[in-house]
Structure 1
Amino acid sequence: MTGAVEAARALLSGLAGSGADHRDVERVLLAAGWRPCGAGDWAIALRSPDGVAAARISPFDPTGPYAAALYREAAHTGQVPVLFDHRRLAGGGDLQLMEWLEPAPPADADAFHRALAAETAVPGRAHEVAELAAVVRRVHERALRELPWCGPLDANPANVMRSARRGLVVTDLFYADGPALYATAATDPDIVAARIPEPERRFMTEIPLAGSGPWQPADREAMRAGLAAADARLAASQAVRKP
Structure 2
Amino acid sequence: MAEPKVDGVTPKGSGAFAEVLARLGGEADHRDAEQAFRLAGWDSCGEGDWAIALRSPDGAAAVRISPFDPTGPYSAALYREAASTRQVPELFAHRRLAGGGDLQIMEFLRAVPEDQANAFQRTIEDRADLIEVVRRVHERARRELPWCGPLDQNPANVMRAGDGRLVVTDLFYADGPNLYATAAADPDLVVARIPESERRFLTEIPFATSGPWRPGEQAALRAGLAAADARAGLWSR
What TM bracket, shorter-length normalisation? over 0.9
**Aligned residue for 1:31?**
39
Q: Which of 161, 167, 170 is equivalent to 1:169?
A: 167
Q: Which moved more, 1:101-110 or 1:204-213?
A: 101-110
Q: Which of 190, 195, 204 is equivalent to 1:197?
A: 195
Once the two structures are TM-superposed, the CA of residue 113 in structure 1 deviates from its matched residue by 1.2
**Contact 1:78 1:166 (C-alpha < 8 Å) held by counterparts:** no
Residue 32 of structure 2 corresponds to residue 15 of structure 1 = no
CA deviations over 1:163-219 (Å, ceiling 9, x no partner): 121511000000000000000000110000000000000000000000011103411
Q: Give the Cα–Cα distance (whole angstroms) in 2 for the partners of residues 169 and 14 of structure 1.
A: 31
Q: Which of 219, 222, 229 is equivalent to 1:221?
A: 219
Q: Give the Cα–Cα distance (whole angstroms) in 1 for the partners of residues 15 and 104 of structure 2.
A: 14
Consecutive unaligned residues in structure 1, runs of 5 or more: 120-128
Q: What's the secondary structure of 2:17's corresponding residue?
A: helix
Once the two structures are TM-superposed, the CA of residue 6 in structure 1 deviates from its matched residue by 2.1
**Aligned residue for 1:125?**
none
**Contact 2:12 2:92 (C-alpha < 8 Å) held by counterparts:** no
Q: What's the secondary structure of 1:98's corresponding residue?
A: strand
**Aligned residue for 1:55?**
63
**Aligned residue for 1:123?**
none
CA deviations over 1:66-93 (Å, ceiling 9, x no partner): 0000000000000000000000000000
**Contact 1:79 1:166 (C-alpha < 8 Å) held by counterparts:** no
Q: Give the Cα–Cα distance (whole angstroms) in 2 for the partners of residues 101 and 88 of structure 1.
A: 22
Q: Give the Cα–Cα distance (whole angstroms) in 2 for the partners of residues 217 and 94 of structure 1.
A: 26
**Aligned residue for 2:90?**
82
Q: Give the Cα–Cα distance (whole angstroms) in 1 for the partners of residues 215 and 12 of structure 2.
A: 40
Aligned residue-pair number: 227
- TM-score, with length taken from structure 1: 0.91
Consecutive unaligned residues in structure 2, runs of 5 or more: 1-10
CA deviations over 1:80-135 (Å, ceiling 9, x no partner): 00000000000000000000011122122111111113x2xxxxxxxxx1100000
4+ runs deviating over 3 angstroms: none
Q: Give the Cα–Cα distance (whole angstroms) in 2 for the partners of residues 13 and 131 of structure 1.
A: 35
CA RMSD of aligned residues (A): 1.1
CA deviations over 1:127-153 (Å, ceiling 9, x no partner): xx1100000000000000000000000
Counterpart mapping for 1:87-106 below 5 A: 87-106=95-114
CA 1:213–1:231: 2 relative to 1, 3 Å: same
**Aligned residue for 2:236?**
238
Q: Give the Cα–Cα distance (whole angstroms) in 2 for the partners of residues 149 and 11 of structure 1.
A: 32
